[in-house]
Amino acid sequence: MKTTVSQKIIAGLCFLVALALVVVGVWGLALRQSEGTFKTLDKMCSYSVMSAAHQPLVEQRVKEASNKAYDHAQAEGFSRNQRRDYVAQQEVLAREEALKELSLGFGQTSPGYEEAILALDTGLQGYFEALHKEEQAFLAAKGEAAPPPEIIQEDAAPEAGADVALEAPITEDVIRPVIDDLTGFVPSAALKAQLEGLTPQADKLLEEISLLHPQLTTELLASARQPVMDAVRAKGDNFETIYDRGIKAGADSVLTGRDPLMMRMVREAENLLYLAFGFVVLGFSIYYFKPVVKRLGTPRFIILLFFLLLIMLAGLYSINVPNMITNILQRLGMYGVLVLAMLPGIQSGISLNMGMPIGIISGLLSTVIALEMNMTGISALVFAMGVGILLAIPVGYAYGLLLNRIKGSEMTVSTYVGFSYVSLFCIFWMLLPFRNAKLTWALGSGLRVMHNMAGNIGGLLDNFLRFEVLGVSVPTGLLLFLLLCCLIMYLFERSRKGVAMIAAGSNPAFAKASGINVDHMRLIGTTLSTVIASVGIIVYSQSFGFMSLYMGPQQMGFIAASAILIGGATVSKAKVFHVILGTFLFQGVLAMGIQVANAMIDVSGLSEVIRILISNGIILYALTQAGGKGRE
């Protein structure tokens, strides 16, 4: 297909913009190592320290203004609401005036003050390095050398605080890799002593600050010790965090000349490189528009461009793009196997398997059995998958027999079957005879709603061969397992049985005339879909870090169906490629969209609303494609 002149011009402009961004980004990264940049960053850090030291004085003035405003309101006979509003207004004005007045001295410095900051910074850096080593040792012991099975008596009481920890609401927009789970970590006595040993250095810094600002009394500075230490150096500090802390404190006001622009450019250097990558992809997408649209289809091409736009907006709004890419890769591995479970159902002719919760519950039940037996590590993961497959085969076969009886209404019936099965197991979860106190309610009988996977199978696949590149933490084991499952399904599609199943699903009349038992092929597809779903929920739970029972599996079928439809599948035709592409687009747009929307609309508590709007919007769009003509 020929490329038009306008396509070439627009693509060329995208490449030029990308080249400019690469030049500026590389220049910014190079400037990070210059002496001038370090001096400017130190100046911003010094301003942050002064701001933190003056906070108690600011709050003291705000309190005085509040008391004065209250007395005035009482004397004027204000109503309670008027008094409250007047006091709040005066507090805001007092804080603004105090900061405006005091900030004039935040840039003051002295040789003793600079030496004190340097000494405390060096001590804190050593402490955080030692803390990081202990945390990594703790995570290694937790993930690789799992604790031995714990024998729990039937009448044993649950651990203190267990109910609160396991029953807390979990939302997927805050998913973090299990590698960061430091639950149970306790710093060593030597590390605590090292931190306490920094107190004299912190006191020395406070003393130097009091010499520069005599109005800061000993009592005021005593309450500012920890904020000052945090302003000097915080855990995980890098160039970006120190710069952001300085900007939040107002340190840009002390920068002169081109320093504000140069420091901003250095701060955004990595994000500029990600933006450049986005423009490169956009340029190629425009240049090869027609063949790409023919391959992916217009809807998927638009979604892909929207995803690239979100990456660019993330860079503009200073969102940590590497962390977001890590999140997307995590979600791809978490949901990929569950989405793959839709594939054999579509290929065998039962359409979208909305009864997938049947297989999911089999995987949940096998995992609960492993936890009941106090199994940990890889043995628990293999056991849960093996037992889950064994449990899924008979229920999947029975489910397939049911679908063979109601041909033409599979989607409707399977949806009701899935909902009914979930509701039925809401009763069974309360009646099953489990006795492990870590699983059951503290009072009464039955299993809890949420179960923590840490210390059992949490993060086993995610942390296997995990590596980091350009700030992106790649869950290698998780992605390899997904690719392995996709490869097995791909090979099955090309086997004699797989070809027969696809033929029966795409053209039942022709398949029947060719001697293929269509009903048997539908049974194979339904059972295989159920089995993959049982494995998929185990992969999901170990990656998410929690396992959700009761109503947790109910919406999984909609998410999986939406992902594979967005990937290009239809209700009668699907490929492995549709699974990978659809899962990536669905989870990528969802993860990036939430962060960008929150950055654009700074409203407290909006994240969950945005998550619901975006996820349900994607699901609605995908389901509208179910009846349309799909693409290969």
Examine the domain organization and report whether 451 and 518 are in the same domain: yes
Average pLDDT over residues 211-226: 85
3-state helix, strand, coil in the chain (%, to 5): 75, 0, 25
When pLDDT is cut at 50, 70 and 90, the band that residue 5 belongs to is confident
Helix (H, G, I), strand (E, B), or coil: what is residue 391?
A: helix
Q: Strand pairing of 472-474 and 467-469?
A: antiparallel
pLDDT for res 181: 59
Examine the domain organization and report whether 282 and 355 are in the same domain: no
Q: How many domains does the chain have?
A: 2
Examine the domain organization and report whether 530 and 487 are in the same domain: yes
Dihedrals phi, psi of 171, to nearest 5 degrees: -120, 140
Residue-wise pLDDT for 556-585, tens only, equals 888 888 888 888 888 778 889 889 988 988
In the chain, % of residues over pLDDT 70: 87
Examine the domain organization and report whether 337 and 287 are in the same domain: no
Q: How far apart are CA 478 and CA 332, in angstroms?
A: 9
Q: Sort residue 161 into left (φ over 0), alpha (ψ -120 to 50) or beta.
A: left
Helices (H) and strands (E) in the chain, counts: 27, 4
Q: Are residues 473 and 465 in contact, defined by beta-carbon separation less than 8 angstroms?
A: no
Domain boundary among 494, 528, 554: 554
Dihedrals phi, psi of 161, to nearest 5 degrees: 80, 5
Residue-wise pLDDT for 290-315, tens only, equals 887 777 777 777 787 788 788 777 77
Average pLDDT over residues 496-517: 87
pLDDT at 270 over 60: yes
Q: Sort residue 625 into left (φ over 0), alpha (ψ -120 to 50) or beta.
A: alpha
Tell me how crowded residue 53 is: count the other CB atoms within 10 A of its CB: 25
Examine the domain organization and report whether 445 and 305 are in the same domain: no
Examine the domain organization and report whether 339 and 434 are in the same domain: yes
**Residue 41 resides in a domain:** no
pLDDT for res 175: 41
Q: Are residues 336 and 617 in contact, defined by beta-carbon separation less than 8 angstroms?
A: no
Average pLDDT over residues 117-123: 90
CB proximity list for 87: less than 8 A, separation 6 or greater: 66, 69, 70, 73
Dihedrals phi, psi of 629, to nearest 5 degrees: -80, 120
Average pLDDT over residues 465-472: 81
pLDDT at 616 over 80: no
pLDDT at 183 over 80: no
Displacement of CA 413 from its chain's centroid (Å): 34
CB proximity list for 41: less than 8 A, separation 6 or greater: 239, 242, 243, 246, 263
**Residue 394 resides in a domain:** yes
Residue-wise pLDDT for 60-114, tens only, equals 889 999 999 999 888 888 888 888 989 999 999 998 898 888 888 888 888 888 8
Examine the domain organization and report whether 380 and 478 are in the same domain: yes
**Residue 393 resides in a domain:** yes
DSSP string, 233-278: --TT--HHHHHHHHHHHTGGGG--TTHHHHHHHHHTHHHHHHHHHH
Q: How far apart are CA 320 and CA 300, in angstroms?
A: 25
- For the chain, the farthest-separated pair of C-alpha atoms sits apart, in whole angstroms, at 97
Helix (H, G, I), strand (E, B), or coil: what is residue 546?
A: strand
**Residue 544 resides in a domain:** yes
Closest CA to 396 of 585, 532, 196: 532
Q: Sort residue 319 into left (φ over 0), alpha (ψ -120 to 50) or beta.
A: beta
**Residue 50 resides in a domain:** no
Examine the domain organization and report whether 352 and 301 are in the same domain: no
pLDDT at 178 over 50: no
Q: Which of 263-267, 484-488, 502-506 has the highest mean pLDDT?
A: 484-488
Closest CA to 360 of 530, 570, 595, 478: 530
**Which helix or strand (DSSP H or E) is residue 214 part of?**
none
**Residue 426 resides in a domain:** yes
Domain boundary among 537, 554, 571: 554
pLDDT for res 215: 87
**Residue 576 resides in a domain:** no
pLDDT for res 387: 92
Examine the domain organization and report whether 285 and 394 are in the same domain: no
pLDDT at 167 over 60: no
- Please identify which residue in the block is written with the tokens 């855990």: 235
Examine the domain organization and report whether 362 and 304 are in the same domain: no
Examine the domain organization and report whether 312 and 448 are in the same domain: no
pLDDT for res 602: 62
Tell me the pLDDT of the chain averaged across its residues: 82
pTM score over 0.85: no
Contacts 24+ apart (CB under 8 A), 1-10: 1/290, 1/291, 1/294, 3/287, 3/288, 3/290, 7/286, 7/287, 7/289, 8/287, 10/283, 10/286
**Residue 495 resides in a domain:** yes
Q: What residues make up the domain containing 337?
A: 333-554
In the chain, % of residues over pLDDT 90: 15
Domain boundary among 487, 521, 554: 554
Examine the domain organization and report whether 352 and 302 are in the same domain: no
**Torsion (CA) 117, 224, 250, 255 in degrees, nearest 10:** -20
**Which helix or strand (DSSP H or E) is residue 374 part of?**
none
